């Protein structure tokens, strides 16, 4: 086990393009050696990944602070704990996941005697491309799936979280098999170069725009691709909802990464007869649970909340709010601290059924602390609104009646759907349509990087039966 790292902050230096082919070939050789497929190798590397996090928690937290000014809660829960849980589950379960499956019980009668089974084989060298917002979780949780499946992997983390990415590049070869796992640092150029190669599997997490480029590149080399994308995740607040609970639970999740999270509640479709109640509940929750300065717990000072990614991301939210204010639609404006890129929550009330609305509030993933509320006629209108837009990654329904939730479950399509809460990251986790292809986490991570190979065994003693299909065909054979 390597010793505790120093607190120095590594410098992010892009991997030279000419190095990428060498890294690819080295890891491919490792795969062809067969060593990555043994259970011992998988468990060793999973455990080492756990030690990597455990030994270097302080450095990881410092890197997240330097890169993104992440809040304590985000670091502890989203980047560290989520990854620990993923590793722990894989260590406990990989042996079980790897086991061959016998299929003969379900096989057609004609195939039963061949005793078909499924052998789970690693798909090959994996490519993991990750975003800036949860640089550790979104790089390492896919890696857990790849390791559990017996695949070597190259991670291309985000250049927009440079210290975290450089730290990962420093630590990964110190803890895991350096011939089996590697980090390529850089941005578009490095990603593009990597995507020229053929991969056992590509798992991309990021924006829809780049997802399309990754899918097109994967198609060129026939590399199977999982896309974990974003989009607008709606909240339905029905007329029978407990609006106070809905508001409190919603903001407690939207506060993660200051709303810069793929499954953050993006906008609310609220039954029009409850809109005033809901907006009042939001204001009440914001005033009591997310106070303004001079309260020392004010959201813009709180060490548990995160900053906006950069000045441009901060300014985008400000522009959205200024426009809403000019149009008389802003009902609550949170505090702003431009220097520290900190923002409180704001609530905007839009036109009924979203009529005549355009712009980022209804067309773009908001990725920030702004919450638009759209008064909606009834549950059918809410369902129609959602179904006329790209399929969301997550959908949240707040209602006291289970039947309302069941109706939305049956009549909409989304990556996940949750009743009366805003948690979406369980297994399998993934989008549908515009919010992504495929899924991972837990067993699904293993499955994503695994080829399920059908194995059919026909013993020679079955020759009398097999010979029935050899020509010439007798009448008896034809009638069989």
* The one among 133, 238, 239, 306 contacting ligand NAD by CB under 6 A: 133
Nearer to ligand NAD, 140 or 279 (CB): 140
Residue 138 binding ligand NAD, by CB under 6 A: yes
Residue 122 binding ligand NAD, by CB under 6 A: no
Residue 228 annotated among the catalytic residues of the structure: yes
Options 2-10, 130-138, 310-318, 452-460: segment touching ligand NAD (CB under 6 A): 130-138
Residue 79 binding ligand NAD, by CB under 6 A: no
Residue 206 binding ligand NAD, by CB under 6 A: yes
Options 108-116, 175-183, 200-208, 449-457: segment touching ligand NAD (CB under 6 A): 200-208
Residue 188 binding ligand NAD, by CB under 6 A: yes
Count of residues that bind ligand NAD according to CB under 6 A? 28
Options 87-95, 155-163, 176-184, 445-453: segment touching ligand NAD (CB under 6 A): 155-163
**Interactions with ligand NAD, residue window 365-404 (CB under 6 A):** 365, 393
Nearer to ligand NAD, 98 or 202 (CB): 202
Catalytic residue among 138, 151, 258, 262: 262
Residue 320 binding ligand NAD, by CB under 6 A: no
Least distance to ligand NAD, CB of residue 191, Å: 3
Residue nearest to ligand NAD (CB): 230
Residue 153 binding ligand NAD, by CB under 6 A: no
Residue 262 annotated among the catalytic residues of the structure: yes
Residue 334 binding ligand NAD, by CB under 6 A: no
Nearer to ligand NAD, 251 or 256 (CB): 256
**Interactions with ligand NAD, residue window 226-255 (CB under 6 A):** 228-230
Nearer to ligand NAD, 379 or 395 (CB): 395
At 53, phi and psi to the nearest 5? -70, -45
Options 4-12, 183-191, 335-343, 369-377: segment touching ligand NAD (CB under 6 A): 183-191
Orientation of helix 39-55 relative to helix 162-175, angle to 10°: 130
> What is d(CA 379, CA 362) in angstroms, rounded to the nearest whole number?
19
Nearer to ligand NAD, 23 or 213 (CB): 213
Least distance to ligand NAD, CB of residue 154, Å: 12
Least distance to ligand NAD, CB of residue 365, Å: 5
Q: How many CB atoms lie within 10 A of CB 170?
A: 16
Residue 191 binding ligand NAD, by CB under 6 A: yes
**Interactions with ligand NAD, residue window 399-438 (CB under 6 A):** 436
Catalytic residue among 86, 141, 151, 228: 228
Residue 187 binding ligand NAD, by CB under 6 A: yes
* The one among 78, 83, 130, 439 contacting ligand NAD by CB under 6 A: 130
Options 168-176, 206-214, 246-254, 465-473: segment touching ligand NAD (CB under 6 A): 206-214
| Contact in structure between 148 and 90 (CB atoms under 8 Å) | yes
> What is d(CA 451, CA 94) in angstroms, rounded to the nearest whole number?
15
Three-state secondary structure readout of the chain: CCCCCCCCCCCCCCCCHHHHHHHHHHHHHHHHHCHHHCHHHHHHHHHHHHHHHHHCHHHHHHHHHHHHCCCHHHHHHHHHHHHHHHHHHHHHHHHHHHCCEECCCCCCHHHHCCCCEEEEEECCCEEEECCCCCCCHHHHHHHHHHHHHCCCEEEECCCCCHHHHHHHHHHHHHHCCCCCEEECCCCHHHHHHHCCCCCCEEEEECCHHHHHHHHHHHHHCCCCEEEECCCCEEEEECCCCCHHHHHHHHHHHHCHHHHCCCCCEEEEEEEHHHHHHHHHHHHHHHHHHCCCCCCCCCCCCCCCCCCCCCHHHHHHHHHHHHHHHHCCCEEECCCEECCCCEECCEEEECCHHHCCCCCHHHHCCCCCCEEEEEEECCHHHHHHHHHCCCCCCEEEEECCCHHHHHHHHHHCCCCEEEECCCCCCCCCECCCHHHEECCECCHHHHHHCEEEEEECCCCHHHHHHHHHHCCCCCHHHHHC
Q: Catalog residues that contact ligand NAD under the rule CB under 6 A.
A: 129-134, 138, 156, 158-160, 187-188, 191-192, 205-207, 210, 213-214, 228-230, 262, 365, 393, 436
Which residues have a catalytic role annotated?
228, 262
């Amino acid at each position: 086990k390597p010793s505790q790292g120093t607190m120095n902050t590594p410098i992010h230096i892009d991997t030279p393009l000419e190095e990428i082919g060498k890294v690819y070939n080295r890891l491919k050789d490792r795969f062809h050696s067969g060593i990555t497929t043994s259970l011992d190798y998988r468990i060793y590397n999973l455990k080492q990944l756990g030690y990597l996090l455990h030994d270097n928690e302080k450095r990881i937290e410092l890197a997240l602070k330097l890169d993104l000014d992440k809040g304590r809660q985000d670091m502890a829960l989203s980047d560290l704990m989520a990854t620990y849980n993923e590793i722990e589950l894989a260590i406990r379960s990989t042996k079980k996941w790897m086991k061959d499956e016998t299929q003969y019980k379900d096989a057609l009668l004609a195939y039963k005697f061949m005793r078909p089974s499924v052998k789970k084989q690693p798909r090959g060298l994996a490519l993991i491309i990750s975003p800036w917002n949860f640089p550790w979780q979104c790089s390492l949780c896919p890696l857990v799936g790849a390791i559990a499946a017996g695949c070597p992997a190259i991670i291309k983390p985000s250049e927009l979280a440079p210290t975290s990415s450089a730290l990962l590049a420093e630590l990964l070869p110190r803890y895991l098999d350096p011939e089996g796992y590697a980090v390529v640092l850089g941005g578009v150029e490095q990603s593009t170069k990597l995507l020229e190669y053929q991969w056992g599997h590509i798992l991309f997490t990021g924006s829809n725009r780049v997802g399309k480029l990754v899918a097109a590149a994967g198609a060129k080399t026939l590399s199977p691709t999982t896309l974990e994308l974003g989009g607008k995740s709606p909240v339905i607040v029905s007329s029978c909802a407990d609006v106070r609970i809905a508001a409190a639970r919603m903001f407690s999740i939207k506060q993660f990464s200051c709303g810069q999270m793929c499954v953050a509640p993006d906008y609310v479709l609220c039954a029009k007869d409850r809109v005033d109640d809901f907006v009042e509940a939001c204001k009440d929750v914001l005033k009591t649970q997310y106070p303004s300065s001079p309260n020392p717990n004010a959201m813009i000072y709180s060490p548990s909340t995160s900053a906006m990614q950069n000045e441009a991301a901060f300014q985008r939210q400000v522009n959205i709010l200024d426009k809403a204010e000019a149009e008389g639609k802003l009902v609550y404006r949170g505090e702003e601290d431009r220097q520290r890129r900190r923002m409180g929550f704001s609530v905007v009330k839009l036109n009924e059924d979203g009529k005549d609305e355009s712009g980022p509030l209804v067309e773009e993933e908001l990725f920030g602390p702004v919450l638009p509320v759209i008064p909606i006629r009834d549950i059918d209108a809410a369902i129609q609104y959602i179904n006329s837009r790209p399929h969301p990654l997550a959908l949240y329904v707040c209602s006291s009646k289970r039947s309302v939730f069941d109706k939305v479950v049956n009549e909409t399509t989304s990556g996940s759907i949750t009743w009366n809460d805003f948690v979406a990251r369980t297994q399998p986790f993934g989008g549908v349509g515009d919010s992504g292809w495929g899924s991972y986490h837990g067993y699904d991570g293993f499955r994503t990087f695994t080829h399920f190979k059908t194995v059919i065994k026909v013993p020679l003693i079955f020759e009398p039966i097999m010979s029935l299909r050899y020509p010439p065909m007798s009448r008896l054979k034809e009638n069989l």
